[in-house]
Copies of this chain bind each other. A is one copy, B any other.
């Protein structure tokens, strides 16, 4: 098996882009990644995307983008794992390069959510849940996360206000990320008084519906040095699943797929949570931040919220999270999110995160969650000496 490195990154600004289509969004990120890696030829294109069919009436994104990028006859396909589609596509790219069948892989994550062909974005996103046993009951993703948050507060005695720092930290970090959707500071008062959208989830507990695209170029480590001045090694790539419906999980607050995915990732990398310098977690909702920190070994059960309360999650903290704004404030264009996380981790590991730099970052972790926790994919990245 060949070790794999990231030799190029690209991202488009996240936002509501009414003027351009999914093709143009993806091109912007992909072309930047190709420029960054200084390569013109690639061997394969893997696209992370969830709802292009439902929202824009376009499937077959692999062929669409290979064509738009003038990369024919390159191999191309789309990879989907709900909101974890981006990390899933990176994982396919990493396996392709590791296998030796592919030398240079371009992985693009793209999602256009603001224009819907028919139906609505909330319904399209609900397709990540169990259509027959959850969605048929009228549940949406906001509602599923509200149920989990309510249970968590009940079990461990927290109040909604205790989650505030996840949001305050994300919005603060996004202020200095030009690619972020929101450039507004949020304080405890604003968090406390925002509209409730599904009790106890308030508008500011939830990440926004938006458009975005991000891309990485993968190469074998043995060639990476000759291609890039600052290649980043993929130390671990691990995916795991849990029952798709929340009601089928023995312990819904355990986020078992995260436990399985990070256990594999730590084993692959030969490290422990204490070795991680920063963690791009999947804060689609504040409750997911708490559960992910616990499942990933940074806090005991029920104590993930304490890391936010104690300031451990800030750029200077013990385990900085959402260093460029996270899903909450950078934005959550679903199929692109997993790749934004990896692009941001690469910026940190290159030491190019500007005012958002985590001092001395050498080892970063990203975690992308599909559905209410059914698919969880963890990557560990490392700056190469």
Contacts and interface: CB of A to CB of B under 8 A. Distances in A.
Interface of A: 1-2, 21, 23, 44, 50-51, 53-54, 56-64, 66-67, 71-82, 85, 88, 91-92, 94-96, 98-102, 118-119, 124, 127-132, 135, 237-245, 248, 256-257, 260-261, 370-371, 374-375
Contact of A63 (B44, B71, B82): B82
B58 A131 contact: yes
A47 B94 CA distance: 18
Contacts of A130: 58, 64
A71 B241 CA distance: 9
13 contacts: A2-B99, A21-B132, A50-B59, A58-B132, A60-B375, A64-B130, A67-B242, A67-B243, A73-B257, A76-B241, A77-B85, A77-B375, A95-B102
A209 to B, nearest CB: 16
A62 B95 contact: no
B59 A128 contact: yes
A95 B99 contact: yes
A60 B81 contact: yes
Contacts of A1: 99-101
A79 B81 contact: no
A4 B71 CA distance: 28
Contact of A77 (B2, B81, B101): B81
